[in-house]
Structure 1
Amino acid sequence: MKLTDFDTLTFDCYGTLIDWETGIFQALRPLLDRVKPALTRDQVLEAHARHESSQQRYTPGKRYQDVLAIVYKRLAEEWDVSFTQEECIAYGRSIRDWPAFADSADALRYLKQHYKLVILSNVDNESFAYSNARLQVEFDAIYTAEDVGSYKPSPRNFEYMLEKLSERGVRKERILHTAESLFHDHKPANDFGLASCWIYRRHAQSGFGATMDPGVQPNIDFRFNSMAELVTAHRNAVLEK
């Protein structure tokens, strides 16, 4: 299997292209300043993953920014600190400030010359518009949790994406699903027989950070520690053809 075997890259966004762990941690600072004793970054991210995953299961039709507002409330309650509804809402809106990884925009501009680029993301459309501006590329299709009415790893999201891409003549065997999260993306990608590319942003850290433990390790066809590494590998694959 080679990177040049595919004509479409379907991307997770948050954790893969947008540095959501930095965005989450920075936006939670008003809450974290009240927590005693102080929590480590990974403790914060793991608690966030737990509450976010739970909330997405119980309210799959709720917009992501509204899910995050509830997550803020659940975290404040767990850590026994005060909060206001205004803070909850502000946290939900913080997605627009989450930074892109430094290599994302350049990598996407390069890949756009060789592939259709598609987003499959656990986000709402308004919030993604801000992230899209940071990524500086026009995607060929954008499928959000708000569009589907459920959140990955629900199979509905992958069914929806594959149906819509099939209607546009994109064959499943020509799709490479590209993502960081084993839980949200690679495990369901396996279930649907999709080839997968792991952008292992947390390669220098232990644990799963802001995503849940997937349990069984999914099968991975390609692994890179950054989007820049993916671009280098593609350039090399082109030269070898």
Structure 2
Amino acid sequence: MADTDMPMPTPTTPPLPLQRYKLLSFDVYGTLIEYKQHILSSFTPLLTRLPPSSPYRNSTPLNPSLAHCATQGDISFLKLFQQQEDRIKLELADHPLRFDEVLKEIWRRIAKTIDVDTSEHEIDAFGSEANIASWPTFSGTLDALRILQNTGYKLVALSNVDRFATDITWASTGLGSIEWAKVFTADDFGTTREDLELADQRKFEALLEFAGGSGVERSELLHVAQSLGHDHKPAKDVGVSSVFLVGDGPVWGKEGESRMAVEKGLVGYGWRCKDLREFAGIVEREMKS
């Protein structure tokens, strides 16, 4: 398990031996795919036009003792990015944009919000297929998925972006080489304003419907993800066991959020691992014992 002094939550359901689970579901962006650092890198040309006093250029590290830790400015900017993405999706719910167009609109609005000049070339570059394709899997992810695939689990992906972008990611990262029983995208969870507001609930509804149709009981389903709010809380709400991957959370200052979620009983994951490689290793050892 991940090396941490954080207490484990009370499990949503009593954890089964890992060989008893039949289906593993995975969040994609943030769990299998690293995107935060690449978004920050993409916006570097825009942010360097800001004065050094801008909060988005605050170079104070969140945790000076942690190598490669995010800065205060990084976190402020990512919050701005997320706010713009959420706002755009809700505003355009009746006529949703394709993900590349969403990215372009985010760039336009951020440039306007921080009052920095930009160009159509920069806007198009951020929304390009090449930019989406540059977001990589976390180290060891593909090998870990192959190990899990070879144990006989059904593997299901739950992508929170549309089919267009997910197809690019599947082709560019090697995720397309994995035998997926199902790949859900945002298109499958509904595009009305209500669907978007209840997106986390909708994806678990779709997952449970698929599992039931595949002969998999709720108790035989295990969800693997990093996000506490978007994955582990809704998993607990619907009674699905889960595996928390700490991943790069400490880099982005997530320790406080993680501890709060446990202390308030918001999550009920049964395993906590540093990354997918660690979890795959646990599965492999248990299957051999």
Give the TM-score of the pair, scaled to structure 2: 0.73
Q: Which residue of 2 aligns with 1:200?
A: 246
Q: Which residue of 1 aligns with 2:179?
A: 138
Output the CA distance in 2 between the equivalents of 1:138 and 1:83. 42
Q: Which residue of 2 aligns with 1:118?
A: 156
Superimposed CA distance per residue, residues 69-126 of structure 1 (whole angstroms, 9 cap, x where no aligned partner): 2222232222221223443343233222111111111111111112111111111212
Output the CA distance in 2 between the equivalents of 1:157 and 1:203. 23
Q: Which residue of 1 aligns with 2:275?
A: 226
Cα distance, 1:49 vs structure 2: 2.3
Count of residues in correspondence between the two structures: 237
CA contact (8 A) 2:159 2:184 kept: yes
Matches within 5 A, 1:89-104: 89-93=124-128, 94-104=131-141
Cα distance, 1:29 vs structure 2: 2.5
AA of the residue aligned to 1:70:
E
CA contact (8 A) 1:186 1:196 kept: yes
Q: Which residue of 2 aligns with 1:107?
A: 144
CA contact (8 A) 2:155 2:181 kept: yes
Paired residue for 1:55, among 88, 92, 105? Answer: 88
Paired residue for 1:70, among 82, 91, 105? Answer: 105
AA of the residue aligned to 1:23:
H
Greater displacement, 174-183 / 58-67: 58-67
CA contact (8 A) 1:100 1:131 kept: no
Q: Which residue of 2 aligns with 1:32?
A: 47
Structure number with higher relative contact order (C-alpha < 8 Å, ≥ 6 residues apart): 2
Q: Which residue of 1 aligns with 2:74?
A: 41
Task: Compare CA radii of gyration and give the structure with the larger one.
Answer: 2
Output the CA distance in 1 between the equivalents of 2:252 and 2:42. 22
Output the CA distance in 1 between the equivalents of 2:133 and 2:157. 17
- Supply the RMSD in Å over aligned alpha carbons: 2.5
Cα distance, 1:137 vs structure 2: 1.5
Output the CA distance in 2 between the equivalents of 1:63 and 1:208. 30
Output the CA distance in 2 between the equivalents of 1:183 and 1:57. 19
Distance 1:3 1:80, change over 3 A: farther
* Aligned-partner SS, 2:230: helix
Percent sequence identity over aligned pairs: 32
CA contact (8 A) 2:241 2:270 kept: yes
Output the CA distance in 2 between the equivalents of 1:118 and 1:74. 34
Give the TM-score of the pair, scaled to structure 1: 0.86
Gaps of 5+ in 2: 1-14, 59-72
Cα distance, 1:8 vs structure 2: 0.9
Cα distance, 1:169 vs structure 2: 2.2
Output the CA distance in 2 between the equivalents of 1:51 and 1:192. 29
Paired residue for 1:186, among 204, 207, 232? Answer: 232
Output the CA distance in 2 between the equivalents of 1:192 and 1:80. 43
Cα distance, 1:168 vs structure 2: 2.5
Distance 1:105 1:59, change over 3 A: same
Distance 1:219 1:77, change over 3 A: farther
